[in-house]
Amino acid sequence: MFLRDEDIKALIATNAIENVSDMTSDEDGSKSPIQPSSFDVSIGKIYVPGKSPEELGGVENPLTKNHTLAPGETAIVETAEILHLPEDVGSFGFPPTSVSNVAVLITNLGHIDPGYDGTIRFTLVNMGKNAYSLKARDVIHTMLFFKLNEAPKKCFRDRNPSISTTNGLQGVNAELLSSLNTDFLNVGERASNAAKIAVNKQIPRWSMLTTIAVALIAAGFNYSSFNSKLDAFDKKIEQKLSSIELEEKVKELTEKVDKLTQEKNKLKDKVKK
């Protein structure tokens, strides 16, 4: 059985859901986190891959206000809300349309077992061509709660006592953060390297562009910053092509001079005879 709005309010009242944003101004309206059969959780802490533990955005010093997720970049978001689910209440959820409509992928959505204690964390990848702004208390996940007909033999906290009692609430750790790349699939770097190799080997421009295009297609999205990089590559290529053209013209003139010299020498020999 799915829980309705009044059931969700009861979970909040009994601290099964903690740290919920203030709802007094719009408790039953469109902006309330409580909807007819769902509950919206929000951004609490933001972790950025590639940051050292003590650096802002690192595992020991997460961002708590906002962060801009550039095209291709990844981040881990931890919810502001904390769950202490009863042993007969579980949940699963979906990204809200405000996130999915702009091609921001949330990779690890799933279900939450009854008896779960802790925040929820999500890995985000900006698959779109525009930057995406992450702001504290913005909606990041829509949860549906369900109630079992009877409690399981052992709920989450019973099966995972070390998580609930020893290590505290589940959260982001250094191992998780270090497993992610700042740039999804390193497409920007791969495209740049491909272009540099093409210039150094004097590969024709069409071949270099094909290599870059393949790298972008493999990633499944375009970068807004790619145009500026391509302009820089264009200049290098033009310089290289100009140098090659000049060398070819010099070589052509040299061959003509040699040919004329040979003909001149032949004429001299004929005159002597």
3 state DSSP class of 70: coil
Interval 29-66: pLDDT, tens: 988 999 999 999 999 999 999 899 999 999 999 999 99
Residue identified by tokens 């689910």 is: 85
* Residue 157 CB partners (closer than 8 Å, separation 6+): 87, 115, 116, 117, 163, 164
Looking at the domain that runs over 5-182, which CATH code has it been given?
Answer: 2.70.40.10
Interval 77-111: pLDDT, tens: 999 999 999 999 999 988 888 888 888 999 867 89
Interval 109-140: pLDDT, tens: 789 999 999 999 989 999 988 999 999 999 99
Q: Do 115 and 162 form a contact (C-beta atoms < 8 A)?
A: no
- Which DSSP helix (H) or strand (E) runs through 90? strand 89-94
Give the residue among 226, 237, 231 at the shortest CA–CA distance from 189: 226
**Residue 272: both structure tokens together:** 């002597």
pTM: 0.66
Phi, psi of 3 (to 5 degrees): -85, 140
Where are the chain's structural domains?
Answer: 5-182, 185-272
